[in-house]
Each structure stands twice: as C-alpha cells, then as structure tokens.
C-alpha cells in the first residue's frame, strides 16, 4: 500500500553525508544477538521463516520465531539462548 504522505525536502542530498557513529560491539550489550549457529539451527526447522530477538511488554528479551503457516505444527524449543520463544506469523513475508 502506498503512502500519501509527502516525503519532504531532499536538500540533504546536496550535502556531504553525516558520519555514522558506531558502537563497539565487543564492549556493548550483545543480549539481542544470537550466535550464528543458533540462528542456523532454528532456520533449519521445517516451517520457520525468520528468527530475531525482541523486547516484550515486560522489558524482557525473547526470541521471536516467524512461521508462515500457523496451522502447521512447528517443533521449536521453549527457550533459546536463555530467552523464552514466541511464535508469530500466519502469512508469507513479502517485500513491498
């Protein structure tokens, strides 16, 4: 669905880009980063189409597992990397 909202001025394109400040990942809080092996293992489960970490309403991190067909029984662990899991989905992921 296209937005009717105006994009605004594009004057910033005529200027030099602003330097991005990056965080030192080694010293920061990596609680929202799952190990690649864990992601790979979850993505190999039949029916799983996406995996990421979110903070829930209570401020706790949880692993979100996206399943396109919620009618299909998907066997996912209740806890991943010490965080509870939550299954969401129900429709295919599409880029607009």
Helix (H) or strand (E) holding 25: none
Parallel/antiparallel/unpaired status of strands 83-89 and 48-55 = unpaired
Judge whether 42 and 64 are in contact, CB under 8 Å.
no
Count of structural domains, the chain: 1
Parallel/antiparallel/unpaired status of strands 61-67 and 83-89 = parallel
Judge whether 87 and 80 are in contact, CB under 8 Å.
no
pLDDT of residue 27: 47
With a pLDDT cut of 70, the percent of the chain lying above it is: 75
The 10s digit of each residue's pLDDT in 33-65 is 899 999 999 999 998 999 999 999 999 999 999
The answer to whether position 14 is within a domain reads no
Q: Which domain holds residue 69?
A: 50-96
The 10s digit of each residue's pLDDT in 82-94 is 999 999 988 777 7
How does residue 17 score in pLDDT terms, banded at 50, 70 and 90? confident
The answer to whether position 17 is within a domain reads no
């Amino acid at each position: 669905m296209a937005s009717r909202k105006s994009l605004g001025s594009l004057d910033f394109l005529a200027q030099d880009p602003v330097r991005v400040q990056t965080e030192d990942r080694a010293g920061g809080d990596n609680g929202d980063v799952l190990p690649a092996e864990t992601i790979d293992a979850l993505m190999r489960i039949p029916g799983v189409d996406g995996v990421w970490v979110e903070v829930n309403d209570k401020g706790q991190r949880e692993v979100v597992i996206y399943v396109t067909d919620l009618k299909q029984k998907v066997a996912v662990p209740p806890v991943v990397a010490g965080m509870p899991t939550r299954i969401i989905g129900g429709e295919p992921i599409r880029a607009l």
